[in-house]
Amino acid sequence: MNNQPIGVFDSGVGGLTIVPHLMKRLPQERLIYFGDTARTPYGSKALSTIKKFTEEIVEFLLEKKVKMIAIACNTVTSSCLEDLQNKYPDVPIVGVIEPAVKKVLYRAKSNARIGVIGTKVTIENKAYSSVIKKQNNNLTVYEKACPIFVPLIEEGLIDSEITDLAVQHYLQEFNKVKPIDYLVLGCTHYPLIKKSIFKTLPNVEIINPSEEMVYGIEEALQRHDLLAEQSKMENIIYASDLSPNITNMIRHLFTEKVRIGVKNFDLLVEESPHF
């Protein structure tokens, strides 16, 4: 048993979508969350930049004595998970992709058509399709990068006509050109715009990695004998920029008291030759 908190992080507010599922499944656990709201989105950044930001956040969470780390970001999971697990072998580190793939393989019939949406990095890495096809080659997987979704969500445009139009623009091909049976929300921000997604794809079953990730966290806690008995610690939410959007989301998601903090990282700007 271990009553230390779970460390959870994301490039912004999207990772908070796992919180209701985590609190319902593991109510005795407490967490320290970090959202890199000052530097979001990650999905269009260089890999070296993503890795630098990620290591800074992991070091920060370890300073806070977390017992494990959950990467609630598909971009980071697809590009950094293995490196982080190798660098920090004594700390359980889990990503968001594997639990979602398990749900896809459990739900989908042998000839099902799967749509996957995510950031440019997640889609370019084929983070979902490569794993799905490796385990069931009979499934058809269509992938689509939706880079505008995260900025819209981070701006708080969750229930708006602009978001409806953006979703329609990116996803309408899944109705006609590439009809699908399931849609994987390959970014933890995307559950926040499920209403808009359903308007464009009303007959598609949605696979929500934010919900499935809780099972990956629970399995890791059990395997390493880290489940809490009953923690008296408070949940703590850190952000690199405490915008009104993240404070509003915290109020929406947390029914109990939560501490909020700001952690800014110094950005090193290196000059490069003209090209």
Over its length of 275 residues, how does the chain's per-residue pLDDT go in tens digits?
A: 789 999 999 998 888 989 889 989 999 999 999 999 999 888 889 999 999 999 999 999 999 999 999 999 999 999 999 999 999 999 999 999 999 999 999 999 888 999 999 999 999 999 999 999 999 999 999 999 999 999 999 888 888 999 999 999 999 999 888 899 999 999 999 999 999 999 999 999 999 999 999 999 999 999 999 999 876 778 899 999 887 877 887 877 777 778 888 888 864 444 444 43
Q: How many other C-beta atoms lie within 10 A of the C-beta of residue 82? A: 11
Instruction: Please report, as a single letter, which amino acid is at residue 11.
Output: S
- Cis check for the bond before 20: say yes or no (omega within 30 of 0): no
* Cβ–Cβ under 8 Å, residues 30 and 234: yes
Cα dihedral sign, 12-210-172-198? negative
Query: What is the token pair recorded at 149?
Result: 């979704």
Query: What is the token pair recorded at 92?
Result: 């359980």
Rounded to an integer, what distance in angstroms lies between the CA atom of residue 221 and that of residue 164?
A: 39
The backbone region for 126, taken as left when phi is positive above 0, alpha when psi lies in -120 to 50, beta otherwise, is left
pLDDT at 102: 94
pLDDT at 266: 62
pLDDT at 201: 96
Q: In what order do the strands lie in the sheet with 205-207?
A: 140-145, 113-118, 182-186, 205-207
- Domains in the chain (CATH in brackets) are 6-96+211-262 (3.40.50.1860), 97-209 (3.40.50.1860)
Which residues lie below 8 Å from residue 186, measured CB to CB, with a gap of 6+?
74, 97, 100, 116, 117, 118, 119, 122, 123, 127, 128, 209
DSSP state of 249: H
Give burial (CB, 10 Å; 0-12/13-18/19+) of 121. buried
Q: pTM to 2 decimals? A: 0.88
Q: How many other C-beta atoms lie within 10 A of the C-beta of residue 150? A: 25
Give the residue numbers marked as catalytic: 73, 187
What's the start-to-end Cα distance of the chain, in Å?
Answer: 56
pLDDT at 94: 97
Q: How many other C-beta atoms lie within 10 A of the C-beta of residue 219? A: 14
